[in-house]
Amino acid sequence: MMCLWLRSSRLCWRRKAPHSDGMKFRNREGVYTMQTDSKITIVGIGGVGGYLSGMLCRTFSQVTLIARGERGKSIEKGGVILHSEYNGEIHAVPHRVVHSAEEIREIQDIIFLCVKNYSLEDVCRDLRHCVDAHTIIVPVMNGADTGKRTKAFLGKGRVSDCVIYITSFLNPDFSVTQLGQYARLVLGSREDAEAAREAGKYLAAAGIDCEVYEDADQAVWEKYIFNCAYNVETAYYNANVEDLQTDEKRREELRTLLGEACSVAAAKHIHIRENYQEEEYERFLHLSEGSTSSLKRDMEAGKTSEIETFGGYLVEEAQRLNIPIPLSEKIYRELRCREFLNGVKRKIEKKLEETRKEIEEGRQDIAGMHEYYWENRAEMDQYGYEDYDNQQALLRSVNANQEKQKQEHRYRKMLDSPFFGRVDFTYEGEERPESFYIGIGNFAERTGAVPLIYDWRAPVASLFYDFDQGRAYYDAPSGRLEGEIISKWQYKIRGGKMIYAFESDMKIDDEILKEELGSNGDVKLKNIIRTIQREQNAIIRNTKDKILAIQGTAGSGKTSVALHRIAYLLYHDRKHLKSSNILILSPNSVFADYIAHILPELGEEAIQELNFDLFAYRELQDVVSDCEDRYDDIEKRMQKNVCQARHREKQSREFLGMAEGFLAELEERLVNLKAVSFRGIEKTEQEMIRLFYFKFQNVPLLSRADAIMEALIDEYETLYNRNISEEDLEEIRKKFSQMYVTKDLYVIYNWLMEESGYPLLPKVPYEKRKLEYEDVFPMLYLKYRLYGAKSQKTIRHLVIDEMQDYSYLQYVILDMLFACPMTILGDRAQTLDDKTRDVLTFLPQIFGKKIRRIEMKKSYRNTSEIAQYAAALYKEQNMDVEIFRRHGKPVEEKAFSTLLEAVREIRKNVKTGPDRYETAAVLTATQEEAEAVCRCLKEEGQEAFCIDRDSSTFRRGLSVTTFYLAKGLEFDQVFGIRPEKGNIFSAQADYITATRAMHELYMYRICGDGKEEE
């Protein structure tokens, strides 16, 4: 029997001996009797729910427990086992154990909700059929608004607020342990005080200490305030209590968090007892070592947590009441992101597991199809239809499985770093913001669902890249959507762990950009999706201009921007554009290897890469046995130390004019038309002239006779209704080849040289013909004009890197080959010639008005010291370069008497290896110098890798190469070695060398004769 004592505004229950007939409760006003067959349901049999279950089940006969899985089975089999320091050992058997609320058919008298806050809405929805207007519901959980939310979710019933003062936990064997010499609940309801009193009677009848208030707001908030501070700080620092107690900064933060929560309570007119903050702070200081919070444990384990309870509600109320709580808001925002990260990771892991299962099933299906095919191949129909159908079905299955493998790879990458940014955006006309997380790819729980993470190329992602806080918009397929950016966050996640979260009112915060730029280099070009700048994003998302020509200073990110633009175009036009439709002209194989991973990393297939010099060599293989390339020419010019005016002339617009004049008069010199007769078909000389100069006048000159020959063959095959024989075909070819004085392009090119006043090529047989670089592209142009250029129709987008190194003539040839959109990029200051070349002055003459010129003036690669040093090398060019301020070591310049001295200095300063720099380079002028340095380094015991024109990979550690092969690459450390005597490329070599260095630059001169010490 329990007695009710009235103390001011609260009712306190004290335990007495139970009465055998039922539960009678006495106070000053009368006697209360409780029926032991009341229908009671407890949801959530964890630590607190288990304690209530043990106490209530031993008293009441109609208690239903909702418990799933192994826990439910354990209770069904052995009942509830409670080890209580306050009440002793208790073993109680419930009326029934159900696995879901659907199994309960009766209206309940009272329901205790002992679940986490994030489950409250789902639990209420499931229990609605068990509740009527008389049912009492007690949400036994943390939080300041659980009663209000429970009432809203159920829409009926009588709800009492509840505050828990019970320390208990669930054991691995599903028994429950309660610690300490107290275990009590505080109940109360401002709206339904009678419901709280009745709930208190049930608890008291079961021997559970409780206090009932007419208004429990003070008790609720006094516990809630401490929970807000203690839970969020332990979770934020992933710490136990002693880690906070011993750190002055963290102690003060806890005091601040307590104060901020109290200020919200005061604004809500919640009475908090005097000296509450100091008392709770003292309690915190005396908590036992090893103590921590449930929020910290849940977040550490990657589980769904109650961050919205301990942080979200407080922040929302503070904003509603216009109360500033900056520290609470900051910690809540970051913890919310960690919570989102944990949830997304769980969903990605689930998708990953499903995809792996599908891949394995696909492999088994393919193996079965193979087996069926070979077992039944002999019995398939004679016309091959079944064979074809089976092969097509197999091909579809293989392709589908390959797509699944790509998806699996994407999920694995997303697990490492699911997202890097977030925008909170309020649409025009709406009140609450929506959060958009930005990552390397879209991720949704199922097809057609709203993405949890948006691809960095999605329209909404432009909010992250293009706007600060305030008014903003993005262009969606349905039109422009306007609104306001409330906040923007940037994250660094590695290995699925949050490294940092940073709220920024700028598009990409300078500190984050500095951190990214200040990190060590890699053997692969990094993707820049986390740090794309506004001006870069405008280029990436440009789909209107057919040709973009980008002049970008060294380190401006132009190559990265071009590759990210390709990824963006592929994403937005998958119907018409595939990776196989894109070609990049790159300077060499090492550079191609350096950038090759970018598109696969961004979720796209690798694109084709081609060196234009190699392309020209292949196109001219039927004319000459070998061709020089650009690097042959550079080495030769540095060795001779002379300008090659003739080379420049042969690539110019003026030379093209001379070539066209030559071609206009070539027909008379080259063509020798005659009558042709073949097996009864006669073509007179007059007919041949008509065909050659009128009907086929648009066919290139050296292909025109072949066109007439094809027409004659068609006439023959139509007339005689049979195909021409190989013998006859050979005979007719001889007749038509005699229509030209010569078809040898090498000979015709010499005619052009003779007319233009240039030295002739040597008259040698094919196997000895080797073209100098100055003649390679003039001859290729002549070939295309005389034979026709095969248009590269499968290429739908062309990327030209290092645009300044292509001549006027080369661009004309490219225009002949490619009619597709182009992205052209380069830096005039890095021209591989004795003079800089600004191709933007003549590109519009070739490509017309469809070209859009863009300049990228801001350099991000180098430290300020290196960038300023490089800019000083090119003062005469009036380079307008903006330097991103990131300071580092001053540039070191030294002079040495011998190469050996310089090499020993390099060995002393190089810092590659574990926990040091990833990459370093020694850059020389010539290949001979590079090989000498590499030998000397190895003799001195320094591991080094020599890069030459035949190299195809870029490696970690110390590389040795020439300045011209290093273009487009970047290194943590760069050592430039130059002889005292320069050459015509010295200015370009020094500038290119300096701009390769990210963190440290050393410029060494060899001032002696260069001979090594004995």
Q: Which range has the worst mean pLDDT, 227-236, 600-609, 788-797? A: 600-609
Q: Would you state the pLDDT for residue 9?
A: 35
Q: Would you state the pLDDT for residue 1008?
A: 67
Within the chain, what is the greatest distance between any pair of CA atoms? 135
DSSP string, 71-133: HHHHHHHH-EEEEETTTEEEEE--SEEESSGGG--SPPSEEEE-S-GGGHHHHHHHHGGG--T
Closest CA to 702 of 749, 655, 745: 745
Q: Which range has the worst mean pLDDT, 524-533, 561-570, 814-823? A: 524-533
Closest CA to 57 of 68, 45, 70: 45
Q: Which range has the worst mean pLDDT, 342-346, 750-754, 948-952? A: 948-952
pLDDT tens-digit map of 837-864 = 889 899 999 998 778 898 888 888 888 8
Higher-pLDDT residue of 268, 590 = 268
Q: Would you state the pLDDT for residue 385?
A: 79
| φ/ψ (deg, to 5) at 427 | -70, 150
Query: Tokens at residue 915, please?
Result: 């926990």
pLDDT tens-digit map of 307-325 = 999 999 999 999 999 999 9
Instruction: Please report, for residues 45, 91, 240, 405, the alpha-carbon distance to residue 72 in angstroms, rounded to integers and kept in the order given.
Output: 9, 16, 32, 39
pLDDT tens-digit map of 770-790 = 999 999 999 999 999 999 998
Q: Would you state the pLDDT for residue 1013?
A: 45
Q: Would you state the pLDDT for residue 8?
A: 30
Q: Would you state the pLDDT for residue 573?
A: 86
SS3 at position 898: strand
Q: Would you state the pLDDT for residue 990?
A: 92
User: For residue 39, is pLDDT > 80?
Assistant: yes
pLDDT above 90 coverage of the chain, percent: 53
Instruction: Please report, for residues 24, 62, 100, 147, 268, the alpha-carbon distance to residue 152 in angstroms, rounded to integers and kept in the order given.
Output: 34, 27, 21, 9, 20
User: For residue 7, is pLDDT > 80?
Assistant: no
Q: Would you state the pLDDT for residue 933?
A: 94
Q: Tell me the pTM.
A: 0.73
**Which of the listed ranges 504-508, 513-517, 636-640 does the model predict with the highest average pLDDT?**
636-640
d(CA 407, CA 603) in angstroms, rounded, equals 9
66 touches 94 (CB < 8 A): no
Query: Tokens at residue 10, please?
Result: 């609260």
pLDDT, average across residues 478-482: 93
775 touches 616 (CB < 8 A): no
Please name the residues in contact with 767: beta carbons below 8 A apart, sequence gap of 6 or more: 625
pLDDT tens-digit map of 672-703 = 888 888 887 888 889 888 998 899 999 999 99
User: For residue 229, is pLDDT > 90?
Assistant: yes
Helix axes 701-720, 773-787, angle to 10 degrees: 30
Closest CA to 220 of 300, 276, 164: 164
Closest CA to 998 of 650, 617, 518: 518
| φ/ψ (deg, to 5) at 750 | -65, -35
Neighbours of 413 (CB within 10 A): 18
User: For residue 216, is pLDDT > 90?
Assistant: no
User: For residue 507, is pLDDT > 60?
Assistant: no
SS3 at position 592: helix
Query: Tokens at residue 809, please?
Result: 């003539």
pLDDT, average across residues 473-486: 92
Q: Would you state the pLDDT for residue 985?
A: 86
SS3 at position 321: helix
pLDDT above 70 coverage of the chain, percent: 93
| φ/ψ (deg, to 5) at 811 | -65, -35
d(CA 670, CA 687) in angstroms, rounded, equals 19
Residue type, 542: N
Q: Would you state the pLDDT for residue 785?
A: 94
Please name the residues in contact with 152: beta carbons below 8 A apart, sequence gap of 6 or more: none
User: For residue 26, is pLDDT > 50?
Assistant: no
Query: Tokens at residue 93, please?
Result: 């058997």
Q: Would you state the pLDDT for residue 32?
A: 44
Q: Would you state the pLDDT for residue 294?
A: 87
pLDDT, average across residues 815-831: 91
d(CA 170, CA 82) in angstroms, rounded, equals 10
Residues 1005, 1010, 1014: CA angle, nearest 5 degrees? 130
pLDDT tens-digit map of 149-200 = 999 999 999 999 999 999 888 999 999 999 888 899 999 998 899 999 999 9
Q: 558: part of which helix (H) or strand (E)?
A: helix 558-572
Q: Would you state the pLDDT for residue 950?
A: 87
The distance of Cα 101 from the centroid of its chain, to the nearest Å, equals: 43
Q: Would you state the pLDDT for residue 521?
A: 53
Query: Cα dihedral sign for 258, 259, 262, 267?
Result: negative
pLDDT tens-digit map of 963-987 = 999 998 889 999 999 988 888 888 8
User: For residue 813, is pLDDT > 70?
Assistant: yes
User: Residue 387's pLDDT band (boundaries 50, 70, 90)?
Assistant: confident
SS3 at position 26: strand
User: Residue 937's pLDDT band (boundaries 50, 70, 90)?
Assistant: very high
Please name the residues in contact with 726: beta carbons below 8 A apart, sequence gap of 6 or more: none
Higher-pLDDT residue of 444, 641 = 444
User: For residue 139, is pLDDT > 90?
Assistant: yes
Go through 168-188 and write b for each residue having 16 or more CB atoms within 10 A of its CB, e for each that does not. bebeeebbbbbeeeebbbbbb
Query: Tokens at residue 420, please?
Result: 């890097």
Q: Would you state the pLDDT for residue 410?
A: 87
Average pLDDT over the chain, rounded to an integer: 87
| φ/ψ (deg, to 5) at 433 | -75, 155
pLDDT, average across residues 943-957: 87
User: For residue 508, is pLDDT > 50?
Assistant: no
Higher-pLDDT residue of 26, 285 = 285
Terminal Cα-to-Cα distance of the chain (whole angstroms):
107
Closest CA to 295 of 322, 331, 326: 331
Q: Would you state the pLDDT for residue 879?
A: 60
Q: Looking at the DSSP assignment, which residues form a beta bridge with residue 770?
A: 626
